Structure 1
Amino acid sequence: MLEEPRSGRLAAWGNALFAGEVSPDEAAERIVGDDDVHRVAGLPDGEGREEPPAGLTLALGRLRTLGARGLRVALPAPGHPLGLSGPPEFNSWALEAGEAVLAAGTALGFVPETHEAGPGGDGVHPDDVHTEVVWRCLPIREAPPADVPSLAEAERELAEAMRDTTEVLNRLDVAGSGPVADAALAAYRARMEAGRRLLAPGYPARAVRVLELAQRVGALVAIAYDRGGDGREHGAAVSASEIAVRQEALRPLERTARRAQVAAYNAYAEELERGLP
């Protein structure tokens, strides 16, 4: 959760485009972010055929003509189909990617496939490697998304989860010292201080507040428990039993943070739909 999900950028700036808050070029630029190329593959042409892969501006325009009323985010994890509505095939793709975007009003969803292109071999400079993202369009079921709270619920749950978990985390020293933890905290704070923009124009202030808090909580969880190993770098819990307790304490906090992110990203789509006659 240290990085903004691509699905969040697509939904936020796509919704701003649908609402006339930004131009197609600005929306596309914001969605691409630090990547090099984004394309959309598999959009229907209205006659049962698939259109060839298209750039974001063309694809978003096409999506609007197909009747899209708003874009929603899904951030599923094993055992938690957060934001998904089916069918199983789409859920499986989204779970593998860890994220997806659902276009309300079209029964279409989008899952990102990321590829790195560039010269192979050792000693390749990072600037020579390009990230290409293809949003795979698949049919979805038009139904209420799974386990998505309202903004008010998400804000309250975040506060409660942080309060309930603090005692356990302090006892396990999960925010302990160490070069890895220090570097991660410094990087997170630097990014916050750089003034990156959360969400897109038109989102309610509460959504921005909830997303900022959810991302901060997610960052602290990632620092407290290293997903790539056993978490020993970031605290005093070193025994198997202590690591298990740490995981158990962090899991609900991480789940709550993901739910809050989805609620924040989806707030604009809900407002757009409520404004329709």
Structure 2
Amino acid sequence: MSTDLPVSARLAWWGTAWLRGQVVTDLLLDAVIGDEATHAVAGLGHLGLGAPADTSRGTGTGTETLLGGLARLRAEGATSFGAAFPVEGDLVGLGGPAGFNTEAVEAGEAVVVAGADVGLVPVTVGAATTWVAHRAVRRQLPDVGEADRALRQELLAAADALARLEVARWRPEVADHLMNLRHRAPLSAPDGVPARCVELAARGLQAVAVVELALVDDGGAISAAEAQARRDALTPLERAGRRALVAACSPEVWPPA
């Protein structure tokens, strides 16, 4: 995971703003699709949802444009889009069923559509992404404040652990990233996303990026034991980073405006 906002987070933020009338359609599509060529939604018809809002937007294969799919979800009662960033053993942001969870873990991310009981898993091939629809059930989410506090604690703990393990000796850029946690590139967010959540998402992304960097080639470890020690020290930070990102990108738990 890089420090760029993942596609599921973009759909969560801009899709929710679009549902609430806070951004126009063109801004929604530009933000979600980004530099890719196209996005589509597949499988909504198989879930027993209504016909596409505009059948001319379909392909005849059960796939419709991103806008067509989102419009159908809105017609089905969607109230918000929330992101999930699960890994095996930590299904944060997911509530099931098992088939949806499995696909989301494989992709590393997903979107849960509140009010429509639908989950969307992004599958990217080349410059095209297809959001594959699944049934989804109500999920439990980390509280924004709880996720914020946990991330701050794990950042301090990880910095201490990495110093003891002399990671900077092998990967000085990791130490540089940890020292520059207060100097992050700002994330772009639509109206309606709380400023606290925008800042939390940025710190969550940065924490996960630090972990990935530190674990490249096992952090330059000279022994298997040292490699495992570094992994053990960083696993809680990676988990806290993902949970922070989920809370920041889940309107169900956003603080009131």
Which portions of structure 1, spanning 4 or more consecutive aligned residues, are displaced by more than 6 angstroms?
none
Amino acid of the residue matched to residue 31 of structure 1? V
Inter-CA distance 271–231: structure 2 relative to 1 (3 Å threshold): closer
Q: How far did residue 84 of structure 1 move?
A: 0.7
Take 2:103 and 2:215, find their aligned partners in 1: how far apart are those partners? 26
Is the aligned partner of 1:137 residue 2:133? yes
Asked whether the 8 Å contact 2:10–2:32 carries over to 1, the reply is: yes
Inter-CA distance 160–46: structure 2 relative to 1 (3 Å threshold): closer
Aligned with residue 243 of structure 1, among 200, 222, 227: 227
Take 2:184 and 2:64, find their aligned partners in 1: how far apart are those partners? 33
Inter-CA distance 37–78: structure 2 relative to 1 (3 Å threshold): same
Is the aligned partner of 1:230 residue 2:230? no
Take 1:178 and 1:219, find their aligned partners in 2: how far apart are those partners? 14
Aligned with residue 160 of structure 1, among 153, 163, 167: 153
Take 1:55 and 1:134, find their aligned partners in 2: how far apart are those partners? 9
Inter-CA distance 65–174: structure 2 relative to 1 (3 Å threshold): same
Inter-CA distance 263–175: structure 2 relative to 1 (3 Å threshold): farther
In structure 1, the residue matched to 2:165 is 172
Inter-CA distance 170–225: structure 2 relative to 1 (3 Å threshold): same
Take 1:21 and 1:163, find their aligned partners in 2: how far apart are those partners? 37
Take 2:227 and 2:63, find their aligned partners in 1: how far apart are those partners? 46
Taking the TM superposition and a 5 Å limit, the aligned residue runs for 1:45-84 are: 52-84=62-94
Amino acid of the residue matched to residue 166 of structure 1? A
In structure 1, the residue matched to 2:19 is 18
Taking the TM superposition and a 5 Å limit, the aligned residue runs for 1:4-15 are: 4-15=5-16
Take 2:246 and 2:254, find their aligned partners in 1: how far apart are those partners? 14
Asked whether the 8 Å contact 1:21–1:201 carries over to 2, the reply is: yes
TM-score relative to the length of structure 1 = 0.79
In structure 2, the residue matched to 1:41 is 42
Q: How far did residue 49 of structure 1 move?
A: 7.3
Q: How far did residue 46 of structure 1 move?
A: 8.5
Amino acid of the residue matched to residue 253 of structure 1? L
Identity of matched residues, %: 36
Q: How far did residue 68 of structure 1 move?
A: 0.4
Is the aligned partner of 1:261 residue 2:245? yes
Q: CA RMSD in A?
A: 2.7
Q: How many residues align?
A: 243
Take 2:211 and 2:171, find their aligned partners in 1: how far apart are those partners? 16
Asked whether the 8 Å contact 2:143–2:253 carries over to 1, the reply is: no
Is the aligned partner of 1:203 residue 2:193? yes
Take 1:46 and 1:113, find their aligned partners in 2: how far apart are those partners? 18
Take 1:139 and 1:46, find their aligned partners in 2: how far apart are those partners? 7
Asked whether the 8 Å contact 1:42–1:50 carries over to 2, the reply is: no
Specify the SS of the correspondent of 1:256: helix
Inter-CA distance 20–270: structure 2 relative to 1 (3 Å threshold): farther
Unaligned 5+ segments in structure 2 are 53-61
Take 1:6 and 1:176, find their aligned partners in 2: how far apart are those partners? 35
Inter-CA distance 23–176: structure 2 relative to 1 (3 Å threshold): farther
Q: How far did residue 42 of structure 1 move?
A: 1.1
Spell out, residue by residue over 1:243-271, the C-alpha distance to the aligned partner (whole angstroms, 9 max, x if none). 100000000100000000000001x3445
Q: How far did residue 60 of structure 1 move?
A: 1.4
